[in-house]
A = this chain, B = another copy of it.
Amino acid sequence: MRRIGVLTSGGDNPGLNPCIRAVVRMGLYKDLYVMGVRRGYAGLIDGEIEQMDARDVGGIIGAGGTILGTARSPEFYEKRGQQKALRSLNRFGIEGLVVIGGNGSLTGALALKNHGFPVVGIPSTIDNDVNGTDIAIGVDTALDTIADAVDKIKDTATSHNRAFLIETMGRNSGYLALVSGIVGGAELVLIPEQEITFEEIAETIEDAYIRGKTHCLIVVAEGWKPGMMALAERLREREDLGFSVRVTRLGYVQRGGKAGAFDRLLATRMGAAAVQALIDGDDGQMVGWVENKIMLTPLEEAVEFQKKLDDDLYELARVMSI
């Protein structure tokens, strides 16, 4: 192997740049040429590809977003798009590809692998719903950002004696909301994975009021039904809960900012390991962080199903909210 490529795909997060940097530097250290593919699979199809050297990734370990850009590429879902992508890879002499992204992006990587192209995936999504790794790149920094926002809202909630609904990202997965709830000291967490009635929610608020709490924070995953706004509307009809209710949807700030130390280290380890896997011929795999060490999992298994939420965490959130 003499020339590898790297791309970032899907939603961005703060761990992408540290990971790109690690792929580039490990590649160079192993005497490979490293080609950066811009705008994910879309750029791969269009041949937006450039050689990268050590200085190109200088200083980016502390920069949010992705210097390679990212995009969603409907074209790549079709066989025709994949053919174009393979043609680009061949045209630029790329013999192995590192794909950094979430479930959708890794499914794309699997498609390339199934065409016989050597590819290694790195799990990167703040939702932490990729199988085959205990934690994905971006999760830890997103949790820090959310915890900071929850802390800020707690200031206001306490000053005014209010209940707050705070919506985090997570369309299919409650991980982000659940851990945010624990580390933000929330009274309740609402996630797709757990059933709860309106009455139970209302009682939690009333109960917090009665027990003398100065606020009541409820963290709501984006994917929880019927959704934060619908809940807020119903709660506002109830004037007997003690606290009046306000809402904040954290939105896209959750994806931004520079990576924290944990994500920088994780991204660096994964990036280096992905290059090593390509060199070793361990392609068709995803690099994961499992039980405190790097572990490879076949891409098929990684994307086969969504990672299950740890039940203990939900219980922990409940215990800590007393």
A residues with a Cβ closer than 8 A to B are 8, 12, 14, 16, 18, 21-22, 25-26, 28-29, 39, 54-55, 58-59, 61-66, 69-71, 134, 140, 143-147, 149, 151-156, 158-161, 164, 179-180, 182-185, 211-214, 246-253, 255-258, 260-262, 264-265, 268-269, 272, 290-292, 316, 319-320, 322
**Contact status B151-A55, CB under 8 Å:** no
**Contact status B322-A253, CB under 8 Å:** no
Smallest CB gap from A54: residue in B? B322
Q: Which among A29, A55, A183, A248 has the greatest number of chain B C-beta atoms within 10 A?
A: A183
Chain B residue numbers with a CB within 8 Å of A62 are: 147, 151, 154, 185
Give the residue of B58, B140, B164, B258 whose beta carbon is less than 8 angstroms from that of A261: B140
Smallest CB gap from A151: residue in B? B62
Q: Which among A146, A212, A213, A261 has the greatest number of chain B C-beta atoms within 10 A?
A: A261
Tell me, in angstroms, the Cα distance from A164 to B144 when the chains sit together: 23
**Contact status A159-B12, CB under 8 Å:** yes
**Contact status B252-A153, CB under 8 Å:** yes
Smallest CB gap from A164: residue in B? B252
**Knowing that A16-B159, A55-B213, A144-B262 are A-B contacts, what are 16 other residue pairs whose CB atoms are under 8 Å apart, sorted by A's residue number?**
A12-B156, A58-B213, A61-B185, A62-B151, A62-B185, A64-B151, A69-B159, A71-B161, A143-B261, A147-B260, A155-B257, A156-B255, A179-B265, A248-B251, A262-B262, A268-B320
Tell me, in angstroms, the Cα distance from A268 to B211 when the chains sit together: 22
Tell me, in angstroms, the Cα distance from A152 to B144 when the chains sit together: 13
Chain B residue numbers with a CB within 8 Å of A18 are: 183
**Contact status B66-A260, CB under 8 Å:** no
**Contact status A319-B29, CB under 8 Å:** yes
Given contacts A256-B152, A319-B29, contact A159 B65 (CB under 8 A): yes
**Contact status B292-A154, CB under 8 Å:** no
**Contact status B252-A316, CB under 8 Å:** no
Give the residue of B149, B211, B268, B290 whose beta carbon is less than 8 angstroms from that of A292: B290
Tell me, in angstroms, the Cα distance from A251 to B29 when the chains sit together: 34
Tell me, in angstroms, the Cα distance from A16 to B291 when the chains sit together: 24
Chain B residue numbers with a CB within 8 Å of A12 are: 155-156, 159-160
Smallest CB gap from A179: residue in B? B265
Chain B residue numbers with a CB within 8 Å of A69 are: 158-161
Chain B residue numbers with a CB within 8 Å of A146 are: 261
Q: How far is the CB of A103 from chain B (nearest CB, A)?
A: 18
Given contacts A152-B253, A152-B256, A319-B29, contact A159 B246 (CB under 8 A): no
